[in-house]
Amino acid sequence: MDESEKSGVPQGDVTRRQFLIAGTAGMVLSGLPRTVYGQSSTAAHALAPVLTKVSFTVNGKNHELELDTRTTLLDALREHLKLTGTKKGCDQGQCGACTVLSGGRRINSCLTLAVMHQGDSITTIEGLGTPDKMHPMQAAFVKCDGYQCGYCTPGQICSAVAVLGEIKAGIPSHVTADLTAAPELNAAELRERMSGNICRCGAYSNIAEAITEVAGRTQ
C-alpha cells in the first residue's frame, strides 16, 4: 500500500474508484509481479492465456466479449462491463457479496466462469432498479437501514429478491419443518436462507426487517 499512501488525497474530480485504480497501478509498478498472471514460477505446463468469445445478456442488454477463459463472471461484470455494483468479497463463494441472478436464480458470480454463461440472462444490482426507480427490496433496505458500510448490500439485495421467489416456488430449506408442505415465510426461514450472505458490520436484524417488509407486501 506504500505507493497509494504516498500519492495522498486526490485532487479535483477523481472518483473513489478511479483513485483506487490509480493506487493499484502504483502497487503493481512498485513490484509484486511474480504471480501477476496467476502463473506460478513452477508451472509445469506453461500454456499461454487463451481467449474465447462469449455472449450473454446483462440487465436486458446483450454483450459480446472476448475473454481469457479464466475470467469469472464476477470479473467480466466488474472489469469488462464496468458494472461495479456487484462486489468481490472473498472470491471463494463464502461471503455472498458477488451474488447475481442468472436466469432468475441467485448464484455466486465468483465461482463460475464467464464462458460458462453463453446465452444466459444475468441480472445485477444495477438491473434491479435505479436510484430514481428503486426495486422494492432496494427501497426497503434504505428504509430499514439494512446496511452500514454497504459493501455486502448488492449481494444481500439480489439474494433477498431470489429468496422470496424460492419460498414462493416451494423450495424447502434446512429449517422447513414439514418437507411435504409449502415452506412458511417467517424469520427463521429468512435467516437460514440468507446464510450465504455475510455482513461484517452485523446489520442482520435490519436486513431481516427489510426482507420481511417486502415479503409482507408481495404475499
Contacts of residues 186-191 at CB distance under 8 Å and 24 or more positions apart, as own/partner, are 187/212, 190/163, 190/215
In angstroms, the CA 43 to CA 144 distance is: 51
Q: How many CA atoms does the CB half-sphere of 157 hold within 13 Å?
A: 27
Residue 79 lies near another protein (rule: CB under 8 A):
no
Q: What are phi and psi of 84, to 5 degrees?
A: -90, 10
What is the separation of C-alpha 3 from the centre of its chain, rounded to a whole number of angstroms? Answer: 28
Among 15, 41, 180, 219, contact with another protein (rule: CB under 8 A): 180
Residue whose C-alpha cell is 444495477: 126
Residue 184 lies near another protein (rule: CB under 8 A):
no
Residue 167 lies near another protein (rule: CB under 8 A):
no
Residue 111 lies near another protein (rule: CB under 8 A):
yes
Residue 163 lies near another protein (rule: CB under 8 A):
yes
Residue 78 lies near another protein (rule: CB under 8 A):
no
In the complex, the smallest distance separating the C-beta of residue 17 from another protein, rounded to whole angstroms, is: 24
Per-residue x/- track, 51-70, another protein (CB under 8 A) = -x---------------xxx
In the complex, the smallest distance separating the C-beta of residue 41 from another protein, rounded to whole angstroms, is: 12
What is the separation of C-alpha 116 from the centre of its chain, rounded to a whole number of angstroms? Answer: 17
In the complex, the smallest distance separating the C-beta of residue 179 from another protein, rounded to whole angstroms, is: 4
Between 3 and 166, name the residue whose CB sits nearer to another protein: 166
Residue whose C-alpha cell is 418437507: 179
In the complex, the smallest distance separating the C-beta of residue 162 from another protein, rounded to whole angstroms, is: 7
Residue 105 lies near another protein (rule: CB under 8 A):
yes
What is the separation of C-alpha 128 from the centre of its chain, rounded to a whole number of angstroms? Answer: 13
Query: Of the candidates 141, 113, 120, 125, which has an alpha carbon nearest to the alpha carbon of residue 204?
Result: 141
- Which 16-35 positions form the footprint of another protein (CB under 8 A)? none
In angstroms, the CA 18 to CA 29 distance is: 17
- Supply angle C-alpha 173, 176, 182, rounded to 5: 95
Applying CB under 8 A, the span of 76-84, 85-93, 136-144, 205-213 interacting with another protein comes to: 85-93
Among 24, 49, 149, 216, contact with another protein (rule: CB under 8 A): 49
In angstroms, the CA 10 to CA 21 distance is: 12
Contacting positions for another protein (CB under 8 A): 37-40, 43-45, 47-50, 52, 68-70, 72, 91-93, 96, 99, 105-108, 111-113, 115-116, 118, 159, 162-163, 166, 169-174, 176, 179-180, 191-197
